Amino acid sequence: MASVAENPDSVYYKQPVAAAPAGKKAYTRKPKAKAKKAPAKKTSTAITKAYSLDYMNPFTHEYPPADPDSFGKFVTLNNVSRFEFQTSTTKDRIFVFNPSIQGLYQLILAEDDGTVLGGLDKSPSRRFYTEPPSSSRTLRAGVKLRNLTSNQDTGGIVHVLNTSSPIETEGGWNPAIDATGPATGGITSTFAAELVASAAGGHGSCSFTAISLQTGDNLFVIPPAGHSAYHTYDEWDNSLSGDDLARGWDRKQKNIAMNNLIIVFGKTSVVNTYEFALGIQIAAKYPMNTIISTFQKDALKSKDPDFIKKVESHVQEHGSQIADPLIAMLGGGGKKKA
């Protein structure tokens, strides 16, 4: 009896292979290879809040943000100002950073009674005094903050408000300064009290214990406050006149391009020391007959017409919170092409 493999009616029946002529190999038909699937197209990383905060971080990006529109050629200028700042045992102390200013005075340091402690000498834009551009606009800005005090002396509360709302000084600022030193003038006590109240209990404000600020970068990313103003170049004000600085501050508050960052340090039983790092990136235009103008370039164009708006929206939504934990979630990978 024939086996099932030899029975033509069996599902196991194998077609016999014809014997090959002498000296030649038997021919067997090879099964057809399966068609290869086309590789899946790689999708770009989603524009998440974490990605947006990292993208607008001035401390990690030397090149300007991509944009769907052309705003002409410019030189990208980056600078970081570092300094230490101490709390008071009797007064609240105030820090106000206004990166919208296209000039020398982007920073006010003061006490709750209106005494101005400085600002001009610590402003990151102060570096551009010797070679000022004709006009500019701020691309990125941010602040890092760390408490350097020993554990047993660390104390107090720090209030932060990262706001797109303008600050109306109402003539409450009188910066009497000279070309080399900090401001020695003052702000009104009413204006100072408004700043303290806004940071401590304003909409979107956050509060942190001093001890929580001893570790990490404690990065606050400052977003654009308005899409139109953010893309507008403003004449650079290189004046060191107190009146000019006050007018320049008020003018940019009326057409605010970047958020104001207000930080209030509550009074402490023991003086605490904080380390500040202020990062800024600006697009600067120089006259064509200057050497530096030869380095001017166009920004990278974004393929997504709404790319920068999406990024701005995410950073604005994050508000006064510390950006480090979210940025850490990126793990250093997945950079999206604009």
How close are the terminal C-alpha atoms of the chain, in Å?
74
Find the radius of gyration of the CA atoms of the chain: 31
Closest CA to 191 of 116, 88, 130, 118: 116
Q: Which residue, among 4, 69, 12, 107, has the nearest Cα to 231 in the 3D structure? A: 69
CB 132 within 8 A of CB 211: no
User: pTM for the complete prediction?
Assistant: 0.82
Q: Does residue 6 lie in a domain region?
A: no
* 12 pLDDT above the threshold of 60: no
Q: 124-178 pLDDT, tens per residue? A: 988 888 899 999 999 999 999 999 999 889 999 999 999 999 888 766 666 554 4
Range of the domain at 100: 49-172+184-328
Is 34's pLDDT higher than 90?
no
pLDDT of residue 335: 46
Task: Confirm whether 148 is domain-assigned.
Answer: yes
Decide if pLDDT at 4 tops 60.
no
CB-based contacts of 12, cutoff 8 Å, min separation 6: 4, 5
Angstrom distance (rounded) from CA 108 to CA 187: 10
pLDDT tens-digit readout, 78-132: 999 999 999 999 999 999 999 999 988 888 888 998 888 877 778 898 888 889 9
Residue 36 lies in a domain: no
The H or E element that residue 262 is part of is strand 260-265
Backbone angles phi, psi at 141, to 5 degrees: -155, 150
Q: What is the mean pLDDT of residues 283-300?
A: 89
Please give the pLDDT value at position 178. 43
Kindly state the tokens that stand for 235: 């004449």
In a domain, 260, yes or no: yes
Q: Would 335 be classed as within a structural domain? A: no
Q: Is residue 27 part of a domain?
A: no
Q: Kindly report the average pLDDT of the chain as a whole number.
A: 83
Does 303 fall in a domain? yes
pLDDT the model gives residue 245: 73
Task: Say how many domains are in the chain.
Answer: 1
CATH of the domain at 71: 2.60.120.20
Q: What is the mean pLDDT of residues 45-51?
A: 84
Question: In this structure, is residue 233 part of a structural domain?
Answer: yes
172-220 pLDDT per residue, tens: 666 554 444 444 556 788 888 999 999 998 889 999 999 999 999 999 9
Nearest one of 261, 280, 282 to 137, comparing CA atoms = 282
Q: How confident is the model at residue 66 (pLDDT cuts 50, 70, 90)?
A: confident
